[in-house]
Amino acid sequence: MKQPLWKRIKSYFVDVHIEGTSSVFNEELDVLLVKGEYQLVTPEAIYSYGKRYDNFFKAFQQIGLNKYDIDSVLLLGLGLGSIPYMLEKHFNRDYSYTAVEIDEDIVYLASKYVLNDLESEVSTICTDALHFVKIDTRKYDFVAMDVFVSDYIPEEFETEGFLRALSDRMADDGLLLFNRLYFFDGDKKKTKEYFDTIFKKVFPEGRYLEVNGNWILFNK
């Protein structure tokens, strides 16, 4: 959904509130227009920010998408659909997406403001990402893990078993990008320990990209 020109201009000077709601999983959700891009926020976190969702945008720049043969993409955590939006509109990629999001209000907002304006095929599934990766039988060329509840990753998504389930969903030559916080000292310690003791155990060749207060763990 495109906003009127005056709102888009105004958004470069002040954040423009578009819609607010609450859900079972998020007590407060707000859609803002910020510097011309839709932003989905809670009081503690930014879930989505168009092409300015820098952690993934910069990761895509660093890894060089042209090196990867990608057709199918599994998104765990949808936000407003920043990942398919930036890949289509700014990296000119024509992928097919399966987006798993537990919060039906977020699915609604993503469809209303972003997904319906994309040419890419985006299939949304409203369910628990942990349950999905364990029962799904398909293989994906690219898996993007971006599950947060406000500003933390639930413990069940930090286990070795979950990573092995992700590995099972990846094609033989598949790509994994796993978004984690790396800003405050506690986040840095937790993420580094997770990378060294759990991520590298499942993905021995795994690496990380440091992007604006986050680490994107990745494996090819």
pLDDT exceeds 90 at position 1: no
Q: Are residues 25 and 91 in the same domain?
A: no
Q: Are residues 152 and 61 in the same domain?
A: yes
Residue bearing the bigger pLDDT, 220 or 3: 3
Q: Are residues 79 and 16 in the same domain?
A: no
What pLDDT, on a 0 to 100 scale, did the predictor assign at position 213?
84
pLDDT exceeds 90 at position 59: yes
Task: Read off the pLDDT band of 149 (50, 70, 90).
Answer: confident
Q: Are residues 105 and 157 in the same domain?
A: yes
How many domains would you assign to the chain? 2
Burial class (CB in 10 A: 0-12, 13-18, 19+), 120: middle
pLDDT exceeds 90 at position 15: yes
pLDDT exceeds 80 at position 110: yes
Q: Are residues 160 and 142 in the same domain?
A: yes
Q: Are residues 202 and 112 in the same domain?
A: yes
Closest by Cα among 83, 70, 93, 84 to 140? 70
* Residues 157-210: tens digit of each pLDDT: 999 999 999 999 999 989 999 999 998 898 899 999 999 999 999 999 999 999
Q: Are residues 15 and 60 in the same domain?
A: no
Q: Are residues 208 and 129 in the same domain?
A: yes
C-alpha distances (whole Å) from 129 to each of 5, 165, 184 are 37, 11, 26
pLDDT exceeds 80 at position 220: no
Q: Are residues 99 and 10 in the same domain?
A: no
Domain span holding position 209: 50-219
At a CB cut-off of 8 Å and minimum separation 6, what does 134 contact?
165
Residues 48, 76: contact at Cβ < 8 Å? no
